A and B are shown apart, each in its own frame.
Chain A
Amino acid sequence: ETGVTQTPRHLVMGMTNKKSLKCEQHLGHNAMYWYKQSAKKPLELMFVYSLEERVENNSVPSRFSPECPNSSHLFLHLHTLQPEDSALYLCASSRRIGPSDTQYFGPGTRLTVL
């Protein structure tokens, strides 16, 4: 068990729906991340939070909206998504945001947009 949990594990939504993905880390880490994993493509970093402050936003469309209320919780709010947004969304955490700080991943939310 990695200490990073994600809910829901599976989500099917229509293009007009609004939903949220939740991530919780039990490792006492200060940094949290959202990644997108699509078939045959590398993991794409979406957002980075350090001490609840967003430090990286990788040109992600505004239909994805992150929220980090505290260092243990991270949300990804979704609205008016497109079918090409269907993917595995992974949350990760690390002690700090240095290059030597290992990132620990959750199991992911498998998102399907109809």
Chain B
Amino acid sequence: QKEVEQDPGPLSVPEGAIVSLNCTYSNSAFQYFMWYRQYSRKGPELLMYTYSSGNKEDGRFTAQVDKSSKYISLFIRDSQPSDSATYLCAMSELTGGGNKLTFGTGTQLKVEL
């Protein structure tokens, strides 16, 4: 079983739709949860960062963490064609070697006009 499971998609939605992206994980040592966005031919860029269970909102984006279910989500409201990208969830634990990020495989999202 993978430590982090993420549906690879692709996910295609019409402009203006609400998008829900999800990851599940098995490692209870994960402490911090992140969502990265990666456009084609670019490196990942941090979108959202959360620590505790609950919701965190930033503009059209809401990150949700449920540690009891080991489940995290990213919601995108009023989706735009510019949101078309691959979304990677990532989680971190403090190991002897420092900050170790474990990534999901990424979900490819396409927002159609």
Chain B, interface SS category: strand
B98→A31 contact, CB < 8 A: yes
Contacts of B93 in A (CB 8 A): 99
Contact of B32 among A92, A99, A106 (CB under 8 A): A99
26 A-B contacts, Cβ less than 8 Å apart? A2-B43, A31-B98, A40-B105, A41-B105, A42-B2, A42-B4, A42-B105, A43-B88, A43-B90, A43-B101, A45-B100, A45-B101, A48-B97, A48-B98, A48-B99, A55-B98, A56-B95, A92-B43, A96-B99, A98-B94, A98-B99, A100-B51, A103-B46, A104-B45, A106-B43, A107-B42
Q: Which residues of B are in contact with A by a Cβ distance under 8 Å?
A: 2, 4, 8, 31-32, 34, 36, 41-46, 49, 51, 88, 90, 92-95, 97-106
